[in-house]
Amino acid sequence: MTDNNIQPNRYTLLRNILRLIAQNPDLERVAPSILGEARVLTRANGGFYLIFDEPRILFVDLIDDSLMPSDEILREVAQGLSQEIHIGSQIPQPLARNFAGWVIIPVYQRETAIGIFCLVFREELDLSEETTDMLMALVDGLATVTQSTKASERHAKLTRNQYEFVRIVSHDLRSPLTSIKGFAGIIEGMMESADIDPVLQGRVIHGAEKIVSGVAQMTALVENIQDAGRYDPETGFYEMQRSPTDLIDIIHKISKNHLMPAEKEALTLKVTASDDIPIVNVDANMLERSITNLVDNAIKYTPNGGIIEVGIHRDNDDIVITVSDDGFGISEENLKSLFMRHTRIRRREHKTVKGSGLGLFIVRSVARHHGGDAFVESEVGNGSTFGIRIPLQGENLLGSSIATETD
């Protein structure tokens, strides 16, 4: 076969490999394909690709595992070579038992050799310049996928470390916050019955109330930080705990037990529920936290004396939970970013409102964990309606998890 006939096939090979990398940059798929094609391209008798650092990964093609040199030897070989093709005859044992020569290409990240690509030959080899260029192009593509995989692994590790740090700090903060709240309550009770100067008594009681209020805000912030980390569909590590759940009961429970702040005692909180809401297979704790965040949000941004309505109804194959208020409303340009992490709307009427900008991010994350999404409808001066949609399909249906486990 002449070079004129071989050349188009080689370019087709390169195009197919690049397409594979672009469509699915998964090292577990790309590496064996490139290793096999490189072996065919060079007429090698075998090959392997080793990534040194944890997690160690080895791909082998037509070489017995018992013939592989140690990682230490291969790392030393790679670190002593530049990032290009090297042809040699001094093969380390035990490879030398079966092969006479090899082609070595170190794979570098920054200035460190992170892997080694090798092809082995039983006879003397002679690679043309064109074959060398094609081989280098293949390995460059493999190196790109490797570096991307390493970067993803580092990002995942950092995310896990961050989540673990937040989890530990959040857990450790609960005990001192609980103690502060308890002692503040004791001081408040003692002062109410103490026979002391009324002015001093009033100041101490007021101070104790401020401490309790501050502790409540800190506790809510700690819970939101923790939930935002673990519920995030992209980076969270929360494992859903599905169970048969009556969403109407959850809504009534939240409405009945919700503590209204002293400055919002004139707010009205009511519930409207359709009678066609089925029992669903969802994470009740997640959804309770999500609905609670929507109610908290409405209370914060609704003027005292307003009305907040928590509703639940069916919309075809979705369950829709809404929290509506008659507050100031939100401008159209601010609606798009509301469910993003740490997003808060700044306006004069809200200057005294405290918050981390995580509540609505948690709401959307919980909805997406259940295959749904969050939404908002609002106009300036006409209040707002926030809600989540939970589709009545898949794992959200009763019996789906049991059926999956049985299968």
Contact 364, 227 (CB under 8 A): no
pLDDT computed for residue 356 by the predictor: 57
Q: At a CB cut-off of 8 Å and minimum separation 6, what does 281 contact?
A: 242, 243, 244, 245, 395, 396, 397, 398, 399, 400, 401
Summarised one tens digit per residue, pLDDT across range 229-273 is: 677 666 666 778 899 999 999 999 998 887 777 677 788 899 999
Q: What is the DSSP string of 265-286?
A: TT-EEEEEE-TTPPPEEE-HHH
pLDDT computed for residue 402 by the predictor: 43
* Paired tokens of 372: 């749904």
C-alpha–C-alpha distance, residues 132 and 332, integer Å: 58
C-alpha–C-alpha distance, residues 407 and 405, integer Å: 5
Lowest mean pLDDT among 96-110, 201-215, 292-306, 336-350: 336-350
The residue-averaged pLDDT of 76-87 equals 88
Centroid of chain to Cα 72: 35
Is 178 a residue whose pLDDT tops 60? Answer: yes
pTM equals 0.54
How far from 195 is each of 52, 180, 190, 206, 251, CA to CA, in Å?
75, 24, 10, 17, 44
Is 319 a residue whose pLDDT tops 90? Answer: yes
Torsion of the alpha carbons at 196, 200, 206 and 212, rounded to the nearest 10: -70
pLDDT computed for residue 1 by the predictor: 35
Q: Which residue has the higher pLDDT, 111 or 285?
A: 285
CATH topology for 243-406? Heat Shock Protein 90 (3.30.565)
* Paired tokens of 324: 């509506």
Q: Which residue has the higher pLDDT, 46 or 218?
A: 46
C-alpha–C-alpha distance, residues 115 and 147, integer Å: 10
Centroid of chain to Cα 135: 37
The rounded percent of the chain whose pLDDT value lies above 90 is 26
* CB-based burial label for 179 (10 Å; 0-12, 13-18, 19+): exposed
CATH topology for 1-237? Beta-Lactamase (3.30.450)
Summarised one tens digit per residue, pLDDT across range 347-381 is: 555 555 555 567 888 899 899 989 999 999 988 88
C-alpha–C-alpha distance, residues 53 and 65, integer Å: 19
pLDDT computed for residue 82 by the predictor: 86
All structural domains of the chain with their residue ranges: 1-237, 243-406
- What confidence category does residue 407 fall into, taking pLDDT thresholds of 50, 70 and 90? very low
* CB-based burial label for 322 (10 Å; 0-12, 13-18, 19+): buried
243-277 burial: b if 16+ Cβ within 10 Å, else e: eebebbebbeebbeeeeeeeebeebebeeebeeeb
Q: Which residue has the higher pLDDT, 1 or 140?
A: 140
The residue-averaged pLDDT of 91-104 equals 89
